[in-house]
Amino acid sequence: MTTPLTQRSARRMLRRSRSVWAAAAVLVAAVATGFVVFETVRFALGLPAWVAGPRTIIDTVAGGTPVGVAIGAVALVFGVVCLWGAVSPGRAGRRLSGDERAPLVVDDAVLAGSLSRSAARTAGVAPDQVRTHVARRRADIEVTPSSGFPVAADEVARAGSAGIASLELTPRVRTRARVTGQGALS
């Protein structure tokens, strides 16, 4: 039984956080505001401007000078980049496993390690002779056989598919196995 709470929780665990974009925007706004406040306080105390006084800042930004246009262009580009980062789909390397009680999230690196161990056992090779790469909907297993000992790629692919099928992952992952042409000394 999936409830709206478990669905929201699973979605939150599967998506990448947008906090970096929010932190970048807040940091830039804080630095700009701090600079303006610093210069305004210096002006109010009758001290000379450190970089530019409040009147100069307003005239530069609002006056349409080349420096003001450049500042506006930089602010516009930064704003568009932050907006793009906030609304673009972010996908972390994780998958949802089929469990009714609670959302169970499997990281792609953990899945790749599990497939590598399973492939090494099936092929009868050392674990460092297997490399696995998990992409969006496919897992590529590459086995380097020990010299003189053949490895059947279809058996390795079947073992990987059986392991993945038992997890009931969303999105589904297809496995593909490849045996390298050159063997390794064991």
pLDDT digits (tens, 9 = 90+) for 76-122: 888 888 778 777 766 667 787 766 666 677 888 888 888 888 888 88
pTM value surpassing 0.85: no
Q: Please give the Cα distance from 94 to 16 (Å, whole number).
A: 10
pLDDT tens digits, one per residue of 168-177: 777 788 888 8
Q: Is there a domain that residue 184 lies in?
A: no
H/E stretch holding 93 reads: none
Q: Which domain holds residue 71?
A: 17-87
Helix ranges (DSSP H) in the chain: 4-14, 19-44, 54-62, 66-87, 108-123, 153-167
Domain finish residue from 87, 102, 128: 87
Same domain, 146 and 103: yes
Please, which residues have CB within 8 angstroms of residue 61's CB and are 6 or more apart in sequence? 68, 71, 72
Q: Quick check: 6 and 102 in contact, CB under 8 A?
A: yes
Q: Please state, in angstroms and rounded to a whole number, the distance separating the CA atoms of residues 96 and 24.
A: 30
Asked whether residue 23 falls in the same domain as residue 76, the answer is: yes
Q: Please check whether residue 166 lies inside any domain of the structure.
A: yes
